[in-house]
Amino acid sequence: MCGLAGYGLSDRAGSVDRVLLQRMTAAIVHRGPDSDGHHVRGPLGIGFRRLSIIDLAGGTQPLFDESGAIAVTCNGEIYNYRELRAGLEARGHRFRTGSDVETIVHLYEEHGARAVEHLVGMFAFALLDSRCDPPKLLLGRDRLGIKPVYYARTERGLAYASEPKAILALDWLPRRLRAHALVDYLVQGYSGGEHSAWGGIRRLPPGHVLEWQPGGEPVLTRYWDLPTDAQRGPADSAEIRDWLDRVVREHLIADVPLGAFLSGGIDSSAVVTSMAAALSTPVVACSVGFDEASHDELVTARETARILGAQHHTEVLRADPTLALDTLPWFFDEPLADPSTVPTYLVSRMARAHVTVALSGDGGDEVFAGYRRYVHDWAENRLRARIGRAGRALSGVLGRHYPKLDWAPRPLRGRTFLTNLADDPAHAYFRSVSQLELADARALLGPAAREAGAGHDPFVAFAEHHARPRGVDALYRAQYADFHTYLPDQILAKTDRASMAVSLELRPPLLDHRFVERFAPLPAREKVRGARGKHALREALRGRVRDAVLDGVKRGFDTPLDRWIAGPLAASVEQALRALPADWIDTRRARQLFDEHRAGRRNHARALWSLLVLERWRARHGVEDALA
pLDDT digits (tens, 9 = 90+) for 345-384: 999 999 999 999 999 999 999 999 999 999 999 988 888 7
Kindly report, residue by residue over 141-177, the tens digit of the pLDDT: 999 999 999 999 999 999 999 999 999 999 999 999 9
Contact in structure between 260 and 275 (CB atoms under 8 Å): yes
Query: Residue 255: is it exposed, middle or buried by C-beta count within 10 angstroms (0-12/13-18/19+)?
Result: middle
Give me the sheet containing 157-161, strands edge to edge.
35-41, 44-50, 2-9, 157-161, 150-153, 202-203
**Which one of 2, 74, 132, 286 is the catalytic residue?**
2
My answer on whether 532 and 585 are in the same domain is no
Please give, one letter per residue, the 3-state secondary structure of 186-233: HHHCCCCCCECCECCCEECCCCEEEEECCCCCCEEEECCCCCCCCCCC
**pLDDT on residue 289:** 85
Alpha-carbon gap, residue 4 to 563, rounded angstroms: 40
| pLDDT above 70 (res 75) | yes
Least confident of 74-83, 191-200, 277-286, 415-424: 415-424
Contact in structure between 336 and 613 (CB atoms under 8 Å): yes
- Partners of residue 46 on adjacent β-strands: 6, 39
Alpha-carbon gap, residue 38 to 269, rounded angstroms: 41
My answer on whether 84 and 217 are in the same domain is yes
**Residue ranges of the alpha helices (H) in 233-360?**
237-250, 266-278, 298-308, 322, 328-332, 341-352
Residue 600 φ/ψ region, left for φ over 0, alpha for ψ in the -120 to 50 degree band, beta for the rest: left
My answer on whether 531 and 575 are in the same domain is no
Distances (CA, A) of 467 to 10, 52, 284, 524: 38, 42, 43, 17
Asked if residue 536 belongs to a domain, the reply is yes
| pLDDT above 60 (res 409) | no
Asked if residue 378 belongs to a domain, the reply is no
Alpha-carbon gap, residue 114 to 104, rounded angstroms: 11
User: Can you spell out the DSSP letters for 348-416?
Assistant: HHHHHTT-SEEE--TTHHHHHT-SHHHHHHHHHHHHHHHHHHHHHHHHHHHHHHS---TTS-GGG--HH
Asked if residue 540 belongs to a domain, the reply is yes
**pLDDT on residue 522:** 96
Alpha-carbon gap, residue 418 to 376, rounded angstroms: 12
My answer on whether 287 and 217 are in the same domain is no
Closest C-alpha among 517, 24, 584 to residue 235: 517
**pLDDT on residue 245:** 98
Instruction: Report the CATH number at residue 40.
Output: 3.60.20.10
Mean predicted confidence (pLDDT) in 198-220: 97
| pLDDT above 90 (res 92) | yes
My answer on whether 243 and 327 are in the same domain is yes
**pLDDT on residue 390:** 57
Question: Before 62, cis peptide (omega within 30)?
Answer: yes
My answer on whether 105 and 30 are in the same domain is yes
Give the chain's mean pLDDT. 93
Alpha-carbon gap, residue 237 to 572, rounded angstroms: 50
Mean predicted confidence (pLDDT) in 116-135: 97
Q: What is the dihedral of CA 84, 86, 92, 94, to 10 degrees?
A: 80
Contact in structure between 165 and 333 (CB atoms under 8 Å): yes
- Partners of residue 129 on adjacent β-strands: 70, 136
**pLDDT on residue 521:** 96
Asked if residue 442 belongs to a domain, the reply is no
Asked if residue 170 belongs to a domain, the reply is yes
pLDDT band at 387 (very low <50, low <70, confident <90, very high): confident
Q: Which SS3 state, helix, strand or coil, does residue 105 take?
A: helix
My answer on whether 329 and 217 are in the same domain is no
Give the domain-ending residue among 196, 222, 248: 222
| pLDDT above 60 (res 454) | yes
- Type of residue found at 359: L
Q: In 10 A of CB 311, how many CB atoms?
A: 13
- Type of residue found at 622: G
Report percent pLDDT > 70 for the chain: 93
My answer on whether 99 and 244 are in the same domain is no
Query: Residue 590: is it exposed, middle or buried by C-beta count within 10 angstroms (0-12/13-18/19+)?
Result: buried
**pLDDT on residue 560:** 78
My answer on whether 41 and 120 are in the same domain is yes
- Type of residue found at 511: L
**pLDDT on residue 408:** 45
Q: H or E stretch including 429?
A: helix 425-432
- Type of residue found at 547: D
Asked if residue 418 belongs to a domain, the reply is no
Mean predicted confidence (pLDDT) in 220-238: 93
Question: Which range of residues forms the domain containing residue 614?
Answer: 560-628
- Type of residue found at 322: T
- Type of residue found at 331: F
2 labelled catalytic: yes
- Partners of residue 317 on adjacent β-strands: 290
My answer on whether 212 and 332 are in the same domain is no
Q: Which SS3 state, helix, strand or coil, does residue 98 take?
A: coil
Q: In 10 A of CB 279, how many CB atoms?
A: 15
**pLDDT on residue 327:** 93
Kindly report, residue by residue over 478-503, the tens digit of the pLDDT: 999 999 999 999 999 999 999 999 99
Instruction: Report the CATH number at residue 291.
Output: 3.40.50.620
Kindly report, residue by residue over 34-52, the tens digit of the pLDDT: 999 999 999 999 999 999 9
φ/ψ of 313, rounded to 5, equals -110, 130
Asked if residue 192 belongs to a domain, the reply is yes
**pLDDT on residue 410:** 44
**pLDDT on residue 532:** 94
Rounded to two decimals, the pTM is: 0.94
My answer on whether 73 and 30 are in the same domain is yes
Question: What domain count does the chain have?
Answer: 3
Asked if residue 48 belongs to a domain, the reply is yes
Contact in structure between 296 and 290 (CB atoms under 8 Å): yes
Closest C-alpha among 222, 169, 168 to residue 200: 168
Sorted by sequence, the CB contacts under 8 Å of residue 438 that are 6+ apart come out as 183, 187, 457, 458, 459
My answer on whether 344 and 251 are in the same domain is yes
